[in-house]
Amino acid sequence: MRGVGQGQCIEILLIPEVASLANKVLAKAEGVDSSQRISRIRMANWEQQILVDIIGWLIVNGLVKDLKKSRLLCQQNARNLWRQYATAHLESAPSDVHRWLKDSKTKTCLDCLRNRIDFTVSNAVPGSPPQPLKDKLVQEFDAIRRDGHVWSESVVHEVQATFQGILASLSPEMENESMEGGLELDGEQVPDKEYSPLLLQGFSIAEKMKWLLRALTKDLAASGLPFFPLTDFAVNKGLLGGHAEPLKGLPEFIWLSDNYYRRSWRLSSVRRIKNVICFLEWVPDAASLATLAVTSKMTERQRERLEEVYRLYDQDGDGKIKGHELRAFFQALDLDEEGEEIQKRHHGSLSLKEIQEELTRETFYRMQKGRYFVVLSLEEAEHLRGSMHLLGSDWPKTCGIALRCLGNLESKLDSSLLDELGPVTERAGLA
Q: What is the CA radius of gyration of the chain?
A: 36
Measure CA 216 to chain center. 36
* Beta-bridge partners for 4: 8
Res. 140: pLDDT tops 90: no
In the predicted model, is pLDDT for residue 293 greater than 80?
no
- Whether the predicted pLDDT of 146 surpasses 90: no
- pLDDT-derived band of residue 374, with 50, 70 and 90 as boundaries? very high
Least confident of 85-89, 293-297, 408-412: 408-412
Measured distance CA(422)–CA(431) in Å, rounded: 14
CB-based contacts of 397: which residues, under 8 Å, 6+ apart?
422, 423
Its pTM stands at 0.46
Mean pLDDT of 146-153: 67
Q: What are phi and psi of 86, to 5 degrees?
A: -65, -40
Residue pLDDT, tens place only, 256-284? 999 998 888 877 767 778 888 899 999 88
On whether the CB atoms of residues 2 and 9 are closer than 8 A, the answer is no
Q: How far apart are CA 314 and CA 325, in angstroms?
A: 7
Stretch among 3-12, 129-138, 200-209, 318-327 having the lowest mean pLDDT: 200-209
Task: Please write the tens of the pLDDT for every residue from 60-102.
Answer: 888 888 888 888 888 788 778 778 888 888 888 888 788 888 8
Q: Where are the domains of the chain?
A: 14-116+129-187, 213-292+368-421, 300-365
- Reported confidence tier of residue 196, pLDDT bands at 50, 70, 90: very low
**What pLDDT score was predicted for residue 192?**
45
Residue type, 187: G
Indicate whether 198 pLDDT > 80: no
Q: For strand 372-376 and strand 254-257, is the pairing parallel, antiparallel, or unpaired?
A: parallel
* Residue 120, pLDDT above cutoff 80: no
At 206 the pLDDT is 54
Please report the pLDDT score of residue 373 as a whole number.
Answer: 92
Tens-place pLDDT, residues 178-190:
544 444 444 444 4
- Per-residue pLDDT for 354 more than 70? yes
pLDDT at 191: 47
Residue 274 has a pLDDT of 83
In one letter, which amino acid is 21? L
What is the model's pLDDT at position 3? 57
Maximum Cα interatomic distance, the chain, rounded to a whole number of Å: 98
Mapping DSSP onto H, E and C, the string for the chain reads: CCCECCCECCCCCCCHHHHHHHHHHHHHHHCCCHHHHHHCCCHHHHHHHHHHHHHHHHHHHHHHHHHHHHHHHHHHHHHHHHHHHHHHHHHCCCCCHHHHHCCHHHHHHHHHCCCCCCCCCCCCCCCCCCCCHHHHHHHHHHHHHCCCCCCCHHHHHHHHHHHHHHHHCCCHHHHCCCCCCCCCHHHCCCCCCCCCHHHHCCCCCCCCCCCCHHHHHCCHHHHCCCEEEHHHCCCECCCCCCECCCCCCCCCCEEEECCCCCCCHHHHCCCCCCCCCEEEEEECCHHHCEECCCCCCCCHHHHHHHHHHHHHHCCCCCCEEECHHHHHHHHHCCCHHHHHHHHHHCCCEEEHHHHHHHHHHCHHHCCEECCEEEEECHHHHHHHHHHHHHHCCCCCCCCEEEEEEHHHHHCCCCCCEEEEECCCCCCCCCC
Strand partners, 350: 321
Q: From CA 191, how far away is CA 291, in angstroms rounded? A: 57
Predicted confidence band at 375 (pLDDT cuts at 50, 70, 90)? very high
Cβ atoms of residues 241 and 268 within 8 Å:
no
CATH topology of domain 300-365: Recoverin; domain 1 (1.10.238)
Residue 44: pLDDT band with limits 50, 70, 90: low
Nearest to 72 by CA among 170, 186, 158: 170
Residue 279 bridge partners (DSSP): 375, 404
pLDDT of residue 240: 57
Position 203 confidence tier, pLDDT thresholds 50, 70, 90? very low
**Confidence tier at 241 by pLDDT (50, 70, 90):** low
Smallest CA-to-CA distance from 193 within 49, 18, 27, 38 is with 18
Instruction: Name residue 347's amino acid.
Output: H
pLDDT reported for residue 227:
92
Average pLDDT of the residues of the chain = 76
Q: What backbone torsions phi and psi does residue 7 show, to the nearest 5 degrees?
A: 105, -15
Which residues, listed in sequence order, are joined to residue 373 by a DSSP beta bridge?
254, 281
Report d(CA 193, CA 175) in Å as an integer: 35
C-alpha to C-alpha distances, 145 to 80, 114, 163, 279, 323, nearest whole angstrom: 13, 16, 12, 69, 74
362: buried, middle or exposed (CB in 10 Å: 19+, 13-18, 0-12)? middle
